[in-house]
Structure 1
């Protein structure tokens, strides 16, 4: 089976994990600090804190910015639901914004339109920007809008480690950047994530929030400065991340090479829409959009019979039961998100693939179409 994604874990990494398990020191020690320092250096970031998951990173970001039940947060309508779920967990209002049909990222024009037309009781407080599938969002324009309306910016870069905009790593533009190291991501720690910020006060607050609000005093005792979470990363997760990060630039290069082959083989077919915004893309996922006259379910079934795994890309949040029931959205309200949700097809992409694999995938897809 040609898998949709596949983690790469070396024997050296497995041995390092074994050594840590034998040591008995398992949570948030020196290896977590080493991973944080490696990420900081890689992204040229001010502060990096390792977290237990990408969703935990988003949650702790909202909590650190004190976003709650009297606030509203603007979120892209096409994303994995975790982006919106954390807003709801904080009891704030989720305000959806439609996306660009070719980059799949939040449309800045529609964002400003949503801000101008917003008339609910909760006060606009923040924007969560998703760099969907590793494509850099238009942070220049979005930061201008955020500054204009005095809104915080949280970057959901769960899929975007290694993504750059004008040479700058995404996650470093806004107030807080959030990353994920789930097994489907380009590097993985099993579960795991990271939060980055340039603000010293936010860094200290996030550090407290991820570890119960605990602080160690000079006399060796502990105090608790605020009610926090248990969002710590383990030592064996961290050593996996550090090993993979050392090879990551080569993996991104390989992904770009494979994507170029996809483009060469699929660009002439009128029933396939290819993603745009290639500059700086880290290509965590390669999603195309199939013409509405084609049957995505049948395509997926056919490719599976050829030992090729595929999937939908992400979800249209307004079409999910919880959000549809709570906010009473019309299905047609966010047409681009709806189209991407119904017609998006994620094709296999990871560093274990080769050019022959991509050719085999494209041959079978084109044959079906």
Structure 2
């Protein structure tokens, strides 16, 4: 049996939407992008939403909006895809990784409090694997203002968490600004794409202008058409058309992912030393990825090879920022910095989970994982 890591759930309706765009002759940003933004707004408490070319460009817009740059410290969850850390670097800010809670895979409050500096300008909270972080608990313990009177900016990296929620609201709406990704491994896909959730229409208008080269399309004078410099961070109508169809199915996607996760919990609970983050099974989680941490002294690379030989595609469970060579080289991070994130970096494993996955496929994955761990662990 062959079990891929992820299978994007595209059906005839998605294809029909794309066909409509292609036949219209208007392929770039247009009415389908506007439709997608409207649908996303419905999922984010009516907030204005601006579609972008990726989750990374959405984050980039957020950093630009708040003027983050040289002299600023940006606190980033240590366990994350490096996009937010990369953007901070590109804008000249200093990256400070914050260790995570192993159950939620999000920022640990004690680690956050220890990481705050006088130059802290922004805090990027990541809902890793679709597990929502209780951000109110973090914010309650951080002074909101810098010594010079500027306010600390809270940025929500909800790339994996469309549809997730806490007691206080949907992910993407919990902080100053929220960002989503629609990569094929996310909750819904547009192929490539992302979105940024604004708090006001004025803020959304700024994001729309900067994503479109800084253009003011209503300028009366031709020479005033580009009043500020910007980027091309636009999403095309081709991509947006896929997303509109995906949103019709998101409720079922989330429910099925939760069911698959619960099944895995039952199937894998007897593997000695295998850790499954508790947050994956909590209400409000969307289970973007199913992640386990292998027992200590297990050769993860060999486990992945053994799984591949048995037809199961698996991969690592993400990155610890202070373990990546660029950041080690620049900041001199030692191997014991952010130990919880380091544990996921070294021993974390992502196994197949996607809507439409059969029970037989899950049993096959569980059986092969049990065998691979038994063969590769050193007791």
On whether the aligned pair clears a TM of 0.5, the verdict is yes
- Counterpart-to-counterpart distance in 1, 2:321 and 2:260: 30
- Counterpart-to-counterpart distance in 1, 2:172 and 2:188: 16
8 Å Cα contact 1:64/1:209 also seen in 2: no
Specify the SS of the correspondent of 1:251.
Answer: helix
Aligned to 1:127: 123
Deviation per residue, 1:160-193 (Å, 9 max, x gap): 1111111621110111100000111121111100
Aligned to 1:79: 80
How do residues 171-320 of structure 1 correspond to structure 2 at under 5 angstroms?
Answer: 171-217=172-218, 223-277=225-279, 278-320=282-324
Structure 1: runs of 5+ lacking an equivalent: none
Specify the SS of the correspondent of 1:59.
Answer: helix
- Counterpart-to-counterpart distance in 2, 1:147 and 1:242: 40
8 Å Cα contact 1:186/1:350 also seen in 2: no
Aligned to 1:163: 164
CA-atom RMSD in angstroms? 1.5
- CA-CA distance at 1:199 after TM superposition: 3.2
Specify the SS of the correspondent of 1:12.
Answer: helix
8 Å Cα contact 1:7/1:186 also seen in 2: no
Structure 2: runs of 5+ lacking an equivalent: 146-150, 375-379
Give the ranges of 4+ consecutive aligned residues of structure 1 lying more than 4 Å apart after TM superposition.
Answer: 218-222
Aligned to 1:95: 96
- CA-CA distance at 1:81 after TM superposition: 0.9
Of the structure 1 ranges 245-254 and 142-151, higher mean CA displacement relative to structure 2 is found in 142-151
Specify the SS of the correspondent of 2:225.
Answer: strand
- Counterpart-to-counterpart distance in 1, 2:336 and 2:272: 25
Aligned to 2:140: 144
Tell me if 1:325 matches 2:326. no
When normalised by structure 2's length, the TM-score is 0.93
- CA-CA distance at 1:195 after TM superposition: 0.1
- Counterpart-to-counterpart distance in 2, 1:237 and 1:220: 33
- CA-CA distance at 1:146 after TM superposition: 4.7
Of the structure 1 ranges 213-222 and 335-344, higher mean CA displacement relative to structure 2 is found in 213-222
Between structures 1 and 2, the one with greater strand share: 1
When the two structures are aligned, how many residues end up with a matched partner? 364
Specify the SS of the correspondent of 1:367.
Answer: helix
**C-alpha spacing 1:202/1:144, structure 2 compared with 1 (3 Å):** farther
Specify the SS of the correspondent of 1:57.
Answer: helix
When normalised by structure 1's length, the TM-score is 0.95
Specify the SS of the correspondent of 1:315.
Answer: coil
8 Å Cα contact 1:182/1:189 also seen in 2: yes
